[in-house]
């Protein structure tokens, strides 16, 4: 990892502002660890979506729903920089092309590894898939626990936030949408 003196000095100042001694044994290496952690958790900013897809689009005559469900994801809320995490369920109906199945969880990670709100994250995944593979429709449902709600604020530990983005046939056709929601157990 490239050492960033400015970021690590900022983290040292933050520790001091919190009332800690950044020079004590347990905190001496904390600025470097926090920098490394934040760079990993926000690594989605530096990822090119086309590189992730890597030409894994294949011509296939298949026009039934493809679902990748229960994709674990972790993100940081942009309001408090606290984690939110959960499961993403992504479906599309091909229009002459399918995408490599491993690419869908990778795309979820690209957008989750940014400072986010769950609503935008859900839409970004749907829009990206719509643009890149031009299917007949895309559906994304995300279920997450937000530590900003659990650890502070309302302090409700057992709440789940569910967001959805429906494009194409999932938006226009109630039967297609219902089939998707039934298959993901919603």
Report, as residue numbers or ranges, the catalytic residues: 77-80, 118, 146, 148
What domains can you pick out in the chain, each with its CATH number? 5-41 (no CATH), 47-183 (3.30.1130.10)
Across 70-97, b (16+ Cβ under 10 Å) vs e yields ebebebbbeeeeebbebbbbbbbbbeee
Return the closest-CA partner of residue 133 out of 45, 72, 70, 62: 62
What was the pLDDT predicted at 2? 64
Using DSSP, state whether 107 is helix, strand or coil: helix
| pLDDT tens-place string over residues 116-168 | 999 999 999 999 999 999 999 999 999 999 999 989 989 888 899 999 999 99
Residue recorded with tokens 């839409």? 123
**pLDDT mean by block of 10 residues, the chain; 186 residues:** 84 98 97 96 97 96 96 97 98 97 98 98 98 97 95 90 98 98 95
């Amino acid at each position: 990892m490239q050492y960033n003196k400015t970021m690590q000095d900022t983290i040292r100042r933050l520790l001091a502002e919190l009332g800690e001694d950044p020079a004590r044994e347990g905190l001496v290496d904390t600025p470097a660890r926090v920098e490394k952690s934040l760079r990993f958790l926000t690594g989605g900013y530096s990822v090119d979506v086309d590189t992730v897809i890597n030409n894994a689009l294949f011509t296939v005559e298949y026009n039934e729903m493809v679902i990748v469900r229960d994709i674990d994801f972790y993100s940081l809320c942009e309001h408090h920089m606290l984690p939110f995490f959960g499961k993403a369920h992504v479906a599309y109906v091909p229009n002459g092309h399918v995408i490599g199945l491993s690419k869908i969880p990778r795309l979820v990670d690209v957008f989750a590894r940014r400072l986010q709100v769950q609503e935008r994250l859900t839409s970004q995944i749907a829009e990206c898939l719509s643009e890149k593979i031009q299917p007949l429709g895309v559906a994304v449902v995300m279920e997450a626990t937000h530590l900003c709600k659990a650890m502070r604020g309302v302090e409700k530990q057992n709440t789940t936030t569910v967001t959805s983005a429906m494009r194409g046939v999932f938006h226009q056709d109630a039967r297609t949408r219902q089939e998707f929601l039934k298959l993901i157990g919603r």
